[in-house]
Chains A and B, each alone.
Chain A
Amino acid sequence: MTVTQSAPTGVPAPAAAATATTRKKQHFSPWQEVWRRFRRHRLALASSIVLGLIIVTVVFGPLVWTVPINEIDFAAKLQGPSWAHPLGTDDLGQDVLARMIYGGRISLAVGLAAMVVAIFVGVLVGAIAGMASGKVDAALMWLSDLFLSLPTLPLLLLIIYLFRDSLKAVFGVEGGIFIMIVVVIGGLRWMPAARLVRAQFLSLREKEFVEAARALGASRTRQVVQHILPNALGPVIVAATIDVAAAIIQESTLSFLGLGFPPDIPTWGRLLADAKDYLDIAPHWALASGAAIFLTVLSINFIGDGLRDALDPRRVI
């Protein structure tokens, strides 16, 4: 694994070589080394804890907080935080905490699924371009340039605007919209991963160990899977992390604009959209849902930064 091979030594003197007389340097496995460096990024470490808490709350929350998400109670509408409703109620008297937990499941699921789509397509395109080179490479890179210059949000809105009714008919309301949002968000975000993988290919294809594998008669697929992809792993993991955050923002934006999930399904963006008309009398509602999106995205971004530090072996502190 060359991803984490070179330890960050100090500036000009290549002083890492050890002899019998020098202090024994501790040895770490590659992933231990990554963890050791990740841990030093305090904000990333704190963010991992915050994100972990958010995930636990969203996944197991309904077991503890059993208030239904759609119990309408006009007598208790637009209330501030209380023991009965820790995050207050909305304009129909529904419990905001229960709705946030439910919405968080959707937001996180969309983020993860869209990231998987983006990374899958990106790695595939990047690997094909990097292996094929020549005309295929040029065509694929032109395509990725083209996708990079697409206005993402308008296009996203356009596709949802044009397709939502038919998908709803095929996969049902929730499933149809979920699939579409995931595929479209992921399908418009594969370019960075593709470029990273292709760049790794170009730089690694000529490296000694790949040449050695080639000389030993390794097949092309084997070369790719065993020797090149693991080396591209570091930057792709970082890109994937950022993708999750971006996808969550994208989905919330769609819901906020009223063009994401249907109105009766609470997502964080949707909650914020509903709350914005009551900003003056019930600010807790908007603040709670907005803060959830913000905290999740911020912690994912910090984790991405920490991973970049940990996985980029060229970095010198």
Chain B
Amino acid sequence: MVETLLEIHGLKTWFKTDDGMVRAVDGVDLRIDHGETLGVVGESGCGKTVTARSVLKLIDMPPGRFEGGRILWRGRDLIPLDDQEMNKIRAREIAIIFQEPMTSLNPVYTVGDQIAEVIALHQKLGRKQAMEGAAEMLRLVNIPNPQHRVHDYPHQFSGGMRQRVMIAMALSCQPKLLIADEPTTALDVTIQAQILELMHEMKDRFGMAIMLITHAMGVVAETCQRVTVMYAGKVVEEAPVGELFGQPRHPYTQGLIRSIPRVDRAAEKKQRLEAISGTVPSLLDPPPGCRFAARCRYASDICVREMPPLKEVAPGHFVRCVL
């Protein structure tokens, strides 16, 4: 039996705004086991990032607020924990990297300082040893000449290199889970592949789990074991990766998969890419029924009236749809 690291049940993270409550995350369930890579996909604004930040409680409160649900980290609920207790979990057990490597590092400190800060704190080391640790981490993420580059400032690194620095920083305490929030979106295509490759390598090396948040289905197909699909603050489908791509059950997932550009087909048959028509519903006072109903070609009366439950249609394959 593999250990379950993270279990999220019915998480609701809402934001108070001038116009009312925005239900950014409105009842999300997901699970990550030891050593696996879970893909979390969905279009922008569907609540992926808020879910990720909720796990580490990096949401500004106010305006944000946990409206309900539980975040179980190895069986322990994180929501009631205070900041001090969270700080024992942050970086040491769960680390996070963000979408924008250009702005995620503090411009006024050297990268060495910023990595050493984590090492010194969590491994109770002196500054000198921590700096050595930082150089070692830079070497691990394949940054050439790490002994010198620890003393460089972020602006002296390219985007891809900065993301490597971020990974080095995140992994410096060997966390059990790495949350990667669109880690490659802001990078060039060739660099994207390198970063994904690096994350994979690090995962095997440290035996950690990864929660990979992305909107690129191609990346998911290549790197993840299981996938959770989110739409408008809710999970609509969850399945092992092969099954999800083989037999997608939710109309939204089907749409997402059809919208993956296929270079071969586009070239051979001049086939146009399929888009999902319509837009995401407002998360202010969302409609009572299925969030996707307005855009769903199979939608019927019941879809508009009430929210379908998440039901298991095959072992490990859950769908929130009446079909």
A residues touching B (Cβ–Cβ < 8 Å)?
A: 7-23, 25, 317
Q: Say yes or no: is B22 at the interface (Cβ < 8 Å to chain A).
A: yes
CB <8 Å contact, A12 and B50:
yes
B287 within 8 A of A: yes
Q: State whether A10 touches B279 (Cβ < 8 A).
A: no
Partner of B285, one of A11, A16, A19, A22: A22
Question: Is the Cβ of A8 less than 8 Å from the Cβ of B18?
Answer: yes
Contact of A12 among B15, B278, B279 (CB under 8 A): B15
Q: Complex: how many Å from CA A18 to CA B16?
A: 18
Which residues does chain B contribute within 8 Å of A8, judged by CB atoms?
Answer: 17-18
| Minimum C-beta distance from A313 to chain B (A) | 13
A-B interface contact total, Cβ < 8 Å: 68
- The contact string, 1 if C-beta is below 8 Å from chain A, for chain B 223-250, is 0000000000100000000000000000
User: Interface extent on B, as a size class?
Assistant: 20 to 34
Q: Is the interface of A mostly helix, strand, loop or mixed?
A: loop
Q: Are A21 and B17 in contact (CB under 8 A)?
A: no
> Chain A CB within 10 Å — which of B19, B44, B64, B280 has the most?
B19
Query: In the complex, what residues of B have CB within 8 A of residue A17's CB?
Result: 279-280, 282
A22's contact among B18, B24, B284, B293, by CB below 8 Å, is which? B284
Given contacts A8-B18, A22-B282, contact A15 B45 (CB under 8 A): yes
B63 is an interface residue with CB less than 8 A from chain A: yes
A15 touching B44, Cβ below 8 Å? no
What residue of chain A has the Cβ atom nearest to residue B293's Cβ?
Answer: A21
> Which residues of the partner chain A approach B280 to less than 8 Å between Cβ atoms?
17
A sample of 16 cross-chain residue pairs with beta-carbon separation below 8 angstroms, ordered by A number, consists of A10-B16, A10-B22, A13-B15, A13-B22, A13-B45, A13-B50, A13-B283, A14-B44, A15-B22, A15-B24, A15-B45, A17-B280, A17-B282, A19-B278, A22-B282, A22-B284
Contacts of B281 in A (CB 8 A): 19, 21-22
User: B residues 45-90 with Cβ under 8 Å of A?
Assistant: 45, 47, 49-50, 60, 63-64
Q: Is the interface of B mostly helix, strand, loop or mixed?
A: loop
CB distance from A32 to the nearest CB of B (A): 16
C-alpha gap A10/B285 in the complex (Å): 14
Given A10-B16, A12-B49, also A19-B279 (CB < 8 A): yes
Which chain B residues (245-298) contact chain A, with CB distance < 8 Å? 278-287, 293-294
Question: Contacts of B283 on A, CB cut-off 8 Å?
Answer: 13, 15
Give chain A nearest CB distance to B221 CB in angstroms. 27
Whole-angstrom distance between the Cβ of B40 and the nearest chain A Cβ: 15
Once the chains are docked, how many angstroms separate the CA of A18 from the CA of B281? 7
Q: Are A13 and B47 in contact (CB under 8 A)?
A: yes
Question: What mask results when residues 8 to 25 of chain B are scored 1 for a CB within 8 Å of chain A, else 0?
Answer: 000000011111001010
How far is it, in angstroms, between the C-alpha of A15 and the C-alpha of B45 when the chains are bound? Answer: 8
Q: Is the CB of A11 within 8 A of B17?
A: yes
Chain B nearest Cβ from A306, distance in angstroms: 16
5 smallest A-B Cβ distances: which pairs?
A: A10-B17, A22-B282, A13-B24, A15-B283, A10-B22
Most chain A CB within 10 A, of B47, B284, B285, B293, is at B284
